[in-house]
């Protein structure tokens, strides 16, 4: 349907009984042995994605810190593997910080982001000597200054700048601006607005216990647009020569396809008049090498003016998404509302969605060499109409008991899963040597309410 990251595809094969294998490990057998639903992570893809990402940036700019965004997948084993390969960690809460430390990241390889940092979390971060704390408000700078003072430390800080302009009606009207304003400019709550950025840096320089060393914007597409002029202005006006330039995250590997209502409707109409579906076509996604090249050509001059500071990038989804497969079991199939529905044993409780519709690539693991012959919607077991794994998947005939491999489920699944109606599944790690290890145990019913007191 659309691209699966190359590294994962290289390790997926079909064996002589038609089962999907990962490094030769039969995924249907794994599902039988460990039960479904079941997360299976591919160590080679995880490491390959990280190393490819780092190489892509390093080949265009030598001083790059790849800070893995812990929130994407906070499993201890996953975090530990990335730490061993040289990743830095980006943490966004006290819990993230705790997990990063537990996974063995030294403070010097941790940066602390996010709009919400209580004093005790800041204190812990400083005591652990985190590399950089990115601040998002004057209130946070004041708090951090106090904490640093109490600990007798001069803390390195970066200021996060919000690249989205206030969508007021003063300049150009557009429907998007109107919607954005009506929704209270939700994007606008992060960091310092562009209008106030200069004054914010000026104030930040006056705190005795803070050392202003970084500038940050997120996501990277917008960061590269707003940072160059701002960096020049701050250098010329306030003499700031940043040690760290942070362009955030948002790097996408094309693994999951986010589809909007308009696309769904136009596709439906195309098919009604006999045209081919656009949703089943491959979508060209620029390679990470192309993204790195474009990014550095956009901000390269600014970096040179600053005498080549450290460039910080914060990928999460890019590294973990294609490294994770979710194995689910087909409970039953039914025709309803003009579509064929395959009901499986996991849904949005463990595959939460970010947009209205996310299309995921599905393989019938026990019929992996069969050609697709029909279109299925794959539904989860919850009781909501929007509990689906994917829509309009082209699959071989699907029956009760079939095992579906949902590809590219490694990002924002374990960490954002909930226990609504079902305990959460186990996770395995498959090594390149075909070794299978349990990295998270399956929850029992009792685990779901083990904090409840039945007074």
Site for a second copy in 5-64 (CB under 8 A): none
The residue among 44 and 103 lying less far from a second copy, judged by its C-beta, is 103
* Interface with a second copy (CB under 8 A), residue from 9, 10, 13, 183: 183
Question: What is the spatial distance between Cα 129 and Cα 111, in angstroms, rounded to a whole number?
Answer: 10
Stretch that binds a second copy, among 200-208, 263-271, 281-289, 363-371 (CB under 8 A): 263-271
* Interface with a second copy (CB under 8 A), residue from 99, 132, 368, 408: 99
Tokens of 34: 């460990």
Question: What is the spatial distance between Cα 448 and Cα 443, in angstroms, rounded to a whole number?
Answer: 7
CB of 257 to a second copy, least distance (A): 15
* Interface with a second copy (CB under 8 A), residue from 331, 372, 397, 432: 331
Residue listed under structure tokens 């590809």? 407
Kind plus residue range of the DSSP H or E element containing 390: strand 388-395
| Cα dihedral 346, 347, 353, 355 in deg (nearest 10) | 140
Residue whose C-alpha is closest to residue 68's, from 94, 103, 35, 16: 103
Residue listed under structure tokens 């299978």? 436
CB of 12 to a second copy, least distance (A): 23
The residue among 169 and 172 lying less far from a second copy, judged by its C-beta, is 169
CB of 304 to a second copy, least distance (A): 31
CA atoms within 13 Å, Cβ hemisphere of 73: 30
The residue among 93 and 211 lying less far from a second copy, judged by its C-beta, is 93
* Interface with a second copy (CB under 8 A), residue from 24, 62, 237, 261: 261
* Interface with a second copy (CB under 8 A), residue from 232, 280, 287, 419: 419
CB of 398 to a second copy, least distance (A): 12
The residue among 10 and 195 lying less far from a second copy, judged by its C-beta, is 195
Question: What is the spatial distance between Cα 189 and Cα 219, in angstroms, rounded to a whole number?
Answer: 14
Binding mask 189-218 for a second copy (x = CB under 8 A): xx--x-------------------------
By CB under 8 A, what part of segment 334-373 binds a second copy?
Answer: 334, 336-339, 341, 343, 345, 352, 357
Number of Cβ within 10 Å of residue 444's Cβ equals 9
Q: Residue 162, interface with a second copy (CB under 8 A)?
A: yes
Strand-pairing partners, residue 350, are: none
CB of 350 to a second copy, least distance (A): 10
Q: Residue 424, interface with a second copy (CB under 8 A)?
A: yes
Tokens of 437: 């290890």
Question: What is the spatial distance between Cα 242 and Cα 231, in angstroms, rounded to a whole number?
Answer: 8
337: left (phi over 0), alpha (psi -120 to 50) or beta: left
The residue among 236 and 441 lying less far from a second copy, judged by its C-beta, is 441
Q: Residue 454, interface with a second copy (CB under 8 A)?
A: yes
The residue among 293 and 424 lying less far from a second copy, judged by its C-beta, is 424
**Opening angle at CA 98, ends 138 and 147, nearest 5:** 35
* Interface with a second copy (CB under 8 A), residue from 38, 131, 217, 439: 439
The crossing angle, in degrees rounded to 10, of helices 43-58 and 76-84 is 40
By CB under 8 A, what part of segment 385-404 binds a second copy?
Answer: 385-386, 388, 391-392, 400
Binding mask 108-147 for a second copy (x = CB under 8 A): -----xxxx-x------------------xxxx--x----
CB of 98 to a second copy, least distance (A): 4
State the Rg of the chain over Cα.
24
Q: Give every CB contact of residue 354 below 8 A, 6+ residues apart in sequence.
A: 258, 412
Number of Cβ within 10 Å of residue 56's Cβ equals 22
Q: Residue 184, interface with a second copy (CB under 8 A)?
A: yes
């Amino acid at each position: 349907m659309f691209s699966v990251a190359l590294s994962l595809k290289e390790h997926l094969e079909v064996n002589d009984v038609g089962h999907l294998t990962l490094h030769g490990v039969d995924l249907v057998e794994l599902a039988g042995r460990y039960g479904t639903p079941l997360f299976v992570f591919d160590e080679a893809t995880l490491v390959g994605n990280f190393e490819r990402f780092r190489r892509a940036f390093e080949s265009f700019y030598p001083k790059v810190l790849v800070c893995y965004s812990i929130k994407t997948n906070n499993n201890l084993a996953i975090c530990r593997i990335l730490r061993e390969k040289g990743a830095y960690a980006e943490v966004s809460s006290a819990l993230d910080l705790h997990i990063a430390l537990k996974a063995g990241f030294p403070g010097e390889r941790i940066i602390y982001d996010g709009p919400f940092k209580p004093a005790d979390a800041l204190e812990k971060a400083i005591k652990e000597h985190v590399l950089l704390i990115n601040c998002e408000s004057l209130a946070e700078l004041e708090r951090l200054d106090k904490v640093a003072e109490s600990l007798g430390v001069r803390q390195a800080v970066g200021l996060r700048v919000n690249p989205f302009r206030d969508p007021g009606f003063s300049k150009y009207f557009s429907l998007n601006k109107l919607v954005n304003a009506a929704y209270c400019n939700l994007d606008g709550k992060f960091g310092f607005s562009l209008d106030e950025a200069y004054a914010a840096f000026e104030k930040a320089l006056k705190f005795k216990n803070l050392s202003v060393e970084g500038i940050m914007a997120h996501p990277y597409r917008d960061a590269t647009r707003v940072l160059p002029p701002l960096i020049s202005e701050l250098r010329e006006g306030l003499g700031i020569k940043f040690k760290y330039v942070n362009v955030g995250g948002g790097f996408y590997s094309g693994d999951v396809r986010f589809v909007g209502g308009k696309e769904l409707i136009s596709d439906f109409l195309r098919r009604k008049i006999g045209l081919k579906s656009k949703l089943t076509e491959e979508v060209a996604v620029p390679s990470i090498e192309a993204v790195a090249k474009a990014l550095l050509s956009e901000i390269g001059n600014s970096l040179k003016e600053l005498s080549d500071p450290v460039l910080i990038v914060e990928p999460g989804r890019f590294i973990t998404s294609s490294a994770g497969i979710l194995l689910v079991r087909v409970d039953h199939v039914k025709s309803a509302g003009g579509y064929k529905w395959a009901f499986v044993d996991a849904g949005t409780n463990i595959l939460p969605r970010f947009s209205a519709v996310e299309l995921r690539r599905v393989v019938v693991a026990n019929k992996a060499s069969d050609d697709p012959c029909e279109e299925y919607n794959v539904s989860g077991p919850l009781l909501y109409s929007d509990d689906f794994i994917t829509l309009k998947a082209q699959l071989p005939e699907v029956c009760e008991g079939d095992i579906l491999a949902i590809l590219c489920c490694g990002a924002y699944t374990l960490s954002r899963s909930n226990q609504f109606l079902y305990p959460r599944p186990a996770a395995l790690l498959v090594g390149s040597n075909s070794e299978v290890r349990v990295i998270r145990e399956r929850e029992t019913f009792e685990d779901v309410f083990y904090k409840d007191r039945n007074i």
